[in-house]
Homo-oligomer: A and B are copies of this chain.
Amino acid sequence: MTIDEMAGSVSPWLTGQAGHGESVISTRVRLARNLAGLPFCHSAKPEDLTHALDRIRDAVMSTNTLKTGTYMVMSELSDLDREFLVERHLISQEQAEKSGVRAVVVGDNEMVSVMINEEDHLRLQSIQPGFQSMEAWRLVDRVDSDLDTRLEFAFSCDWGYLSACPTNTGTGMRASMLVHLPALVLTGQVNRVLQGISQMGLAVRGFYGEGSEVMGNLFQISNRTALGTSEVDILQSLDNVVRKVLEMENQGREILLRDARSQIEDKIWRAYGLLKYARRLTSQEVMSLSSAVRLGKCMGIVDRVSIGALNRMLFVSQPAHLQKRLGRRMSPGERDEERANMVRSILEEEESRTGAG
């Protein structure tokens, strides 16, 4: 599947239909691996990186999961295509921006992908819709096992898998869920909850992962260390914490309905009205307004729009997605207009589907 084909479709993990899909947008599991006998990327010479790239590409493209995948070399892609892959959560900002011998292999349905020569020689990832850490882990583990028969990974009996950054050494695993917590934000409890998560050894990040801002009340909760624990323990700890956070979020929603129903309904429907009628919308505004509508959907206040449509809205209204769809670079002002058109057409489609209007 080429980038242009991807741009015409929606990531399959945005269906919003898996477990807790209303509040957990997606689950991601990634493994960091490095080739034995080669320096880590940050200290490797170009020829080492080229050597690593060739070996990894051949190995990856012969796995069952990725043999029909798309191989893309970063330096051969346009800036816009690289931005698109970042927005799609298929490569990191670092992979998009830094020069050097870098690539990515994306599986057919985008649920599995491998970055080559990012911080580590390999970063395998699987993204699944909703609350599905075990399923994401199974998919990525299958690729890992396949690759293990073809490549020799840097591994120490004492430390486990070795990696460029100590926080990834051990299992090399980072598991995360993208969680929607509007009621905790509205009731002013979110900082306390995030502190609690942090004390339990997990990290909280923004929409685009490490270093990114929190937008639209979307938080990425992930394990912080990969060492001295097993993969299954990491996943179970993430599952437990996210379940607990969802419970608190649901309590927050009940409090809102009990104490401020009229204000919340107003907030939600105003957001809907702005999404439906605005002629210019920034990405930030779409995130924030669609967060309110998503809350309305979860609370039974808004019926006329599906979670899948709200997920789609969030993704297709990102700058590179918009520009890929129209096939050209656009000024921020043009993007704001195009984004408003796109959002409006999604809502109109949903309204005619649900018979509202």
Contacts and interface: CB of A to CB of B under 8 A. Distances in A.
Interface string A265-278: 11001101111111
Nearest to A333: B262
A276 B279 contact: no
A216 B333 CA distance: 28
Copies in the complex: 2
A99 interface: no
Interface residues of A, number: 19
A37 interface: no
A340 interface: yes
Interface in A254-300: 262-263, 265-266, 269-270, 272-280
A273 B265 CA distance: 15
Contact of A262 (B270, B276, B277, B337): B337
A15 to B, nearest CB: 27
Nearest to A268: B279
Contact of A272 (B266, B270, B277, B337): B277
A211 interface: no
A354 B265 CA distance: 28
B274 A279 contact: no
A357 interface: yes
Interface string A88-107: 00000000000000000000
Given A333-B262, A337-B262, A357-B357, A273 B279 contact: no
Contacts of A278: 266, 269-270, 273
A270 B266 contact: no
Contacts of A270: 273-274, 277-279
Contacts of A276: 273, 277
A279 B261 CA distance: 10
A353 to B, nearest CB: 15
A269 B277 contact: yes
Contacts of A340: 266
A357 B340 CA distance: 17
B279 A265 contact: yes
A283 to B, nearest CB: 16
Nearest to A263: B280
Interface in A304-357: 333, 337, 340, 357
Nearest to A356: B357
Nearest to A271: B277
Pick the 5 closest A-B CB pairs, nearest first: A273-B277, A273-B273, A266-B279, A269-B277, A266-B280
26 contacts: A262-B280, A262-B333, A262-B337, A263-B280, A265-B279, A266-B278, A266-B279, A266-B280, A266-B340, A269-B277, A269-B278, A269-B279, A270-B273, A270-B274, A270-B277, A270-B279, A272-B273, A272-B277, A273-B273, A273-B274, A273-B275, A273-B276, A273-B277, A273-B278, A274-B274, A276-B277
